[in-house]
Structure 1
């Protein structure tokens, strides 16, 4: 028996009702606002139809209710605008964060890693200082090197250390700590802090927002970044 290969099957695709059930129409903020307006007008008309003929609503009452409608409508539109801006901000923050991958950053912390005779760290100066002393300490807490600085301005100050000690010898590669003391007129400042260096390895997003993952430092936010190197 021959088979007609030109015969097509009609109605083999999903029906419109099925597609609508699977993909229901999303309610937009405009639809929600219009629905609120319709409800309000229905209630107002019902109130007018059933008002006491001997004590009808005056113009002031009607005007007041219409003003309430405008207020509700305005609030709904404002909320919709804020939600839209919130979404745009999250997308922008995510894009900015991904651009940080493989970039070196200075963030709050006192850790210093000396590798191949090289290390990067920094200072976060809330105010300027006459004198700044930076102590580099070993694992036992002993200061093995001291850096003296004068007339340091407020802001972020990136620094490097090649491992050279006061006697000219080289410190071995490894983990060290930084301690900062800044003074003005002999008075110790409380807004001077050490900054540690790290490289952004990856970015994650979630309910808590955008996070930067920096090995040996931790999970940070964009606000934690004091300087990008």
Structure 2
């Protein structure tokens, strides 16, 4: 993998134009070769047994088919190139930004830790459990937005931890994990947990554009849930 450098619109435009010209020339060359072959065949045909009209029509139809396929391939190449360039620009713009990605880790620093949840529907009850490096629960929290009496809305929400354990002691700074359960009307609802991390660099690999998020590892651009 290689780091993705900053990309400007002029470079992207030049890349797309070059790709389009190359693909167009390839399509034209294919059609020219086909036509030359047909003309040569007609020039060297047996005068006593000339080519049948239906045969000529069939070969012309083949030329049209080949030309159409080449044009389609050209269009697909342009779309693919445009999409990759767009992803590179979008990804490099996230370097240095904090983002939410799927995960269960939570970093405690100076008595504060932030994580996120993603809900497909509103819920009226959320329970959060903080675990240490040994998987032992050190804090159990019940969250309910009492101020609006509407619970938690669908979509992405932020949850915080003040670093205190159930006993009231202060937990040491470091990495912890968390678990979340949700209910609506007493029925269990699926909840996706999100980890907060900072994008340090961007790279290209076989899986496409990847973002390096330090301890959270490499994540795909499509895994970014929210940018801060």
Per the shorter chain, which TM-score range? 0.7 to 0.9
Give the C-alpha shift of residue 90 in structure 1. Answer: 1.8
* Runs of at least 5 residues in structure 2 that lack an aligned partner in the other structure: 1-20, 145-150
Give the C-alpha shift of residue 182 in structure 1. Answer: 1.6
1:57 correspondence with 2:76: no
Q: What's the CA shift string for 1:117-144, capped at 9, x where partnerless? A: 1111011223332322111122332322
1:133–1:147 contact (8 Å) kept in structure 2: yes
Structure-1 separation of matches of 2:224 and 2:86: 17
Q: Secondary structure at the match of 2:96?
A: coil
Give the C-alpha shift of residue 183 in structure 1. Answer: 2.2
- Count of aligned residue pairs for this structure pair: 201
**Which residue of structure 2 aligns with residue 132 of structure 1?**
126
Structure-2 separation of matches of 1:61 and 1:205: 50
| Higher-Rg member (1/2) | 1
Match for residue 141 of structure 2 among 144, 147, 170: 147
Give the C-alpha shift of residue 221 in structure 1. Answer: 1.1
Q: CA RMSD in A?
A: 2.4
1:200–1:212 contact (8 Å) kept in structure 2: yes
Structure-2 separation of matches of 1:159 and 1:107: 14
**Which residue of structure 2 aligns with residue 180 of structure 1?**
180
Q: Secondary structure at the match of 1:28?
A: helix
If the length of structure 2 is used for normalisation, what is the TM-score? 0.77
If the length of structure 1 is used for normalisation, what is the TM-score? 0.76
Counterparts in 2 of 1:76 and 1:56: CA distance versus 1, 3 Å: closer
**Which residue of structure 1 aligns with residue 14 of structure 2?**
none
Higher RCO (CA 8 Å, separation ≥ 6 residues): 2
> What stretches of structure 1 move > 6 A for 4+ residues in a row?
none
Q: Which structure features the higher share of helix residues?
A: 2
1:48–1:57 contact (8 Å) kept in structure 2: no
Counterparts in 2 of 1:38 and 1:168: CA distance versus 1, 3 Å: same
1:41 correspondence with 2:35: yes
**Which residue of structure 2 aligns with residue 117 of structure 1?**
111
